[in-house]
Amino acid sequence: MGPRTLSKVRGRSDSGVMTPRIVILGGGTGGTATANRLRRRLAPGDAEIVVVDADDRHVYQPGLLLVPFGLATPASLVRSRRDQLAPGVEFRESEVDRVDAARSTVLLAGGDELDYDLLVVATGATLAPEETDGLCGPGWMDSVGTFYSLEGASALAGALARFEGGRLVVNVVDMPIKCPVAPLEFCFLADWFFEQRGIREGVHITYATPLDGAFTKPLAARALAGLLEDKGIELVTEFNTGEVHGDEGRMVAFDGRELAFDLAAVVPLHAGAAFVGRSEGLGDDFGFVTVDPHTLRSTVSPKVFALGDAADVPTSKAGSVAHFEAEVLVENLCLALRGAAPSASFDGHTNCFIETGHHKALLIDFNYDTEPRPGRFPARLGLPLLKESRLNHLGKQLFELAYWHALLPGHDLPGISSPMPTRGKRMATPS
C-alpha cells in the first residue's frame, strides 16, 4: 500500500476553495512562537496551522546550564509542547523522514504525507558527540559530560558534587553551537560553585575554545576575557578538539596540543535535524537550512522558510534570535499567503544574559552589523550592557517567566522588538 496523504482532511471555504495549510516542523521556541503568532494574526478560515514534532516534551534550554550546579531540576524545565500551542493550532507527534520541496510535501515516519502551501523548518540543532573521536568512549557521562542535554546536565550535577579538586576543562569542540555564551557561563558558575564549597583554590578551570578569543565579537571578547582572568580561569584559544580520551583524562587538538583534565564539560559538535540532509537542496553540509538572512525564506523554494537554530543565518543560535525572527517571519508568511514577495527584514538582533556568578550577570545586545556595545538596554534607563550587575542577574531570572508566558505564546514584550535598538547604547568604539 502506498503512502497515505493527509491533504484530504483540509477544510474548504464557503466558495469551495481549499484552506491554505502552513506546516511548522519543530515545536521548540521558534516553531511554537511562530504558530501562536500566526494563529492570533489569521482567522481560522485563512489558514490551517499544523506543528509537527517527534515528541511532546518542550525543554526550557537556558535552564540546562543551571542543573549541574543544583540551581534547577530537570523536571522543572520540561512541559508539554501541545500545551504551549494556541487553540486552533494542530499538533502532530511524528518523526519527519524528509521534505520534498518539489512536491510541497513533508514525508513523515510511517509513510504518511503532509502537503503544505507554506513550510517553516524550526527543528533546531542536534548534538553530534559521536563525530569527535573518543568523546562517547570511556568516561562519557562520568568524567566527560555535557550540559547541553537533560541527561548530560543531570550527569554533570553528580560529577560536580563528587569533584574534590583537580583540573576542570570546559571545551567547545567547534562552532556553531546553541547559545555561544553558555560555556563561558558554565566557567563562571563553576568558579562560584567551588568557592561556595571551599575548594576553589584546589581547582584549575580551563576554558578551551576554537575561537581566537573568548567570544566572536571584539568588545565582548575583551570584556569576557577580562572576567575569566579576574576569576583565575585559564583561556585557551584556537583549540580545535580532535580526540578525547576520557579514560586517560586528556583531550588532543588537531595541531597536537593536549589538555589534561580530571573532569571535562564538553560542548559537542552541532548539526541540523537529520531529515534536512535527506531533503534534496534544503540544507548545507551541516544540515542547517539555507535561507536569506533577512527574509528567512529558503534558497531552495519560495514556499519554505526557516528560523531559530535550524537556519544558517550568520548570528548566534539563541532563543532571543528565534523570538525576534518569529516577528519578521510571521509578516512574511502572511505576505506569502497573499501571493506577495516577503519584505519584512530581520537584522540579526541577538540579546543574551551571561551569568557570572555571585548573583550577577552581564548583558550583550547586537545584530549582523553592530557588535555588542556598552550603554543601556533597551533605552537609556534600561539594563546595563557589557557590565556585571545584580540587575542583569534578576533579568535573567525573570526571563524564564517571560519565556513561558510571553515569548512562547508569541506576545510582544514592551519596548523590545525585532529591530535592534540603538537608543541607550554608546555607539562609538571605546579607545
Same-domain pairing of 262 and 302: no
Average pLDDT of the residues in 168-193: 97
Average pLDDT of the residues in 208-227: 94
Residues in the chain: 431
Average pLDDT of the residues in 3-25: 66
Q: What is the pLDDT of residue 3?
A: 47
* pLDDT level of residue 346 (50, 70, 90 thresholds): very high
Residue 112 DSSP code: -
| pLDDT tens-digit series, residues 382-430 | 999 999 999 999 999 999 999 999 999 999 888 899 999 999 999 875 4
Share of the chain above pLDDT 70, in %: 95
**Above 70 in pLDDT, residue 75?**
yes
Same-domain pairing of 61 and 13: yes
342 within some domain? no
Same-domain pairing of 22 and 57: yes
1 within some domain? no
Average pLDDT of the residues in 25-47: 96
416 within some domain? yes
Give dist(CA 366, CA 215) in Å, integer: 13
Average pLDDT of the residues in 337-364: 97
**Above 80 in pLDDT, residue 247?**
yes
- In three-state secondary structure terms, 108 is strand
Same-domain pairing of 75 and 58: yes
178 within some domain? yes
Q: What is the pLDDT of residue 427?
A: 83
Helix, strand counts (H, E) of the chain: 7, 24
Phi, psi of 232 (to 5 degrees): 70, 30
Average pLDDT of the residues in 315-337: 97
Domain limits at 174? 129-269
Average pLDDT of the residues in 255-281: 97
**Above 60 in pLDDT, residue 15?**
no
Q: What is the pLDDT of residue 18?
A: 85
**Above 90 in pLDDT, residue 1?**
no
Same-domain pairing of 177 and 239: yes
Q: What is the pLDDT of residue 11?
A: 55
Residue 20 DSSP code: P
Same-domain pairing of 301 and 353: no
343 within some domain? no
Question: 250-253 and 241-245 as β-strands: parallel, antiparallel, unpaired?
Answer: antiparallel
Same-domain pairing of 333 and 354: no
Give dist(CA 96, CA 85) in Å, integer: 20
58 within some domain? yes
Domain end among 337, 370, 391: 337
Q: What is the number of domains present in the chain?
A: 3
Cβ neighbours around 409 below 10 Å, total: 17
Give dist(CA 206, CA 228) in Å, integer: 9
Q: What is the pLDDT of residue 429?
A: 58
Give dist(CA 421, CA 19) in Å, integer: 38
Average pLDDT of the residues in 19-23: 97
143 within some domain? yes
Q: What is the pLDDT of residue 335?
A: 98
Q: What is the pLDDT of residue 17?
A: 66
Q: What is the pLDDT of residue 134?
A: 98
Same-domain pairing of 262 and 156: yes
Domain end among 290, 306, 337: 337
* Residue 172 belongs to domain with CATH number: 3.50.50.60
Same-domain pairing of 278 and 333: yes
Phi, psi of 137 (to 5 degrees): -85, -150
- What cell does 161 get? 558534587
Average pLDDT of the residues in 240-247: 98
Domain end among 269, 285, 315: 269
| 210 CB-near residues (< 8 Å, 6+ apart) | 172, 173, 174, 175, 238, 239, 240, 241
Same-domain pairing of 114 and 149: no
Same-domain pairing of 354 and 378: yes
**Above 50 in pLDDT, residue 5?**
no
Same-domain pairing of 265 and 136: yes
- Sign, Cα dihedral of 38, 39, 42, 44: positive
Residues 382/375, Cβ–Cβ less than 8 Å: no
| pLDDT tens-digit series, residues 95-153 | 999 999 999 999 999 899 999 999 999 999 999 999 999 999 999 999 999 999 999 99
- What cell does 311 get? 537556519
Question: 241-245 and 234-236 as β-strands: parallel, antiparallel, unpaired?
Answer: unpaired
Share of the chain above pLDDT 90, in %: 92
Q: Which is nearest to 310 in space by CA: 29, 23, 104, 51?
A: 29
Q: What is the dihedral of CA 211, 214, 219, 220, to 10 degrees?
A: 120
**Above 80 in pLDDT, residue 274?**
yes
**Above 70 in pLDDT, residue 10?**
no
2 within some domain? no
